[in-house]
Amino acid sequence: MLGHSRSANGVAGDSARPFPSPPPSLPNRAQINTEPSTPSVPVHHLRQRGEDPAILYISIAPLVFKTVKMTHQFPALSTEQKKELATIAQRIKINVENTEENRRSFRDLLFSVDDSISENIGGIIFFHETLYQKADNGVLFPKVIKDKGIVVGIKVDKGTAALAGTDGETTTQGLDGLSERCAQYKKDGCDFAKWRCVLKISDSCPSSLSIAENANVLARYASICQQNGLVPIVEPEILPDGDHDLQRCQYATEKVLAAVYKALSDHHVYLEGTLLKPNMVTPGHACTKKFTSDEVAMATVTALRRTVPAAVPGICFLSGGQSEEEASLNLNAMNQLPLHRPWKLSFSYGRALQASALAAWKGQAANKKAAQDAFVSRAKINSLASKGEYKPSGQADQASTQSLFTASYVY
């Protein structure tokens, strides 16, 4: 999900409900040009309801495991995609059978919260299955979401595949037929799309081959999305697997982002009509040295300042296996740094926004209210963090402080 706040809506937040109609203005950063130099490339605008828009998206990743018949001609998920989605059920143990109806029920729980959730969440990234499911009242989920003033996105990549000639590195599949799929998803109510490329850190990784390949794949995806009227979220994720320290991650992140924006330029992508979804700069999960939120924030913002053009309107971070509380604290620290930040820093969390809600729900209808309260509470916290206004109470519950790390995470 993408977040934002009332005074700073975003991709799980809404001082910026992104994309619908042209905004009056975006304070504290350059205006978005509504007339791209290439007329054939459509531009979507970020709309705000407050003075400090946050662009926040929430991926409903842990909730999609099985394909349903599409209402149009495009193929079902591949065997590899089904394997990837099937593993998600084991990520958060709540002793609930992984059935299509249980997945739909949990989504309905999230989507049926009070309309005020749009003050904290500006967009939701759907999987194919979710896009064609219905709420308990028979209304399609996309309409439920849009009626709350939240925009709908879709994950369009088809998972990773081995990159020959590398040490276990990958590229991302799905460019074949992407234009047709984007056109159909646009007709079905989507406003933006997301594509994830995965890189890793080791003695020999990320290699120059892997960096170049994934950067070009992301650029081709972004160009195709814009040609079909979808705003592309560009997601180059460096996995937290390994024992590398903060400086090693910062170095790798800078190399990857520099290559991504070079490729986006080469492919004539309109940067003002894109969003970036990167990893935070954090040490490897097995690193023995601990770093503070302030250190993570400084390393992350420094890497971004060195590589991400000011034309990019928003950066919405993935949580990368951090606990809910850790992801919120790190985002909050970034927005408190005394450094110039030309883009809005917000969140696009999946696991780090749903873990407490899942733990409270336990698959039982009687726990619906408790699960919704947990979800709304964490959304509000991240909305505050996107403005640097989160003040921890020091009483975080166990579910929110539990690490959500999974080795070689796929979804």
Please give the positions annotated as active site.
Answer: 235, 277
CA-CA distance, 396 to 254, in Å (whole number)?
33
Q: How open is the CA angle 124-45-31, to the nearest 5 degrees?
A: 130
CA-CA distance, 238 to 256, in Å (whole number)?
9
Q: What 3-state DSSP class applies to 323?
A: coil
How many helices and strands (H and E) does the chain possess? Answer: 12, 13
Measured in Å, how far apart are the chain's first and last C-alpha atoms? Answer: 14
CA-CA distance, 350 to 56, in Å (whole number)?
11
Q: Residue 65 gets which letter from DSSP? A: -
Residue whose structure tokens are 């407490």: 356
Give exposure, 225-245, as e/b (b: 16+ Cβ within 10 Å).
Answer: bbebbbbbbbbbbbbbbbebe
Q: What 3-state DSSP class applies to 392?
A: coil
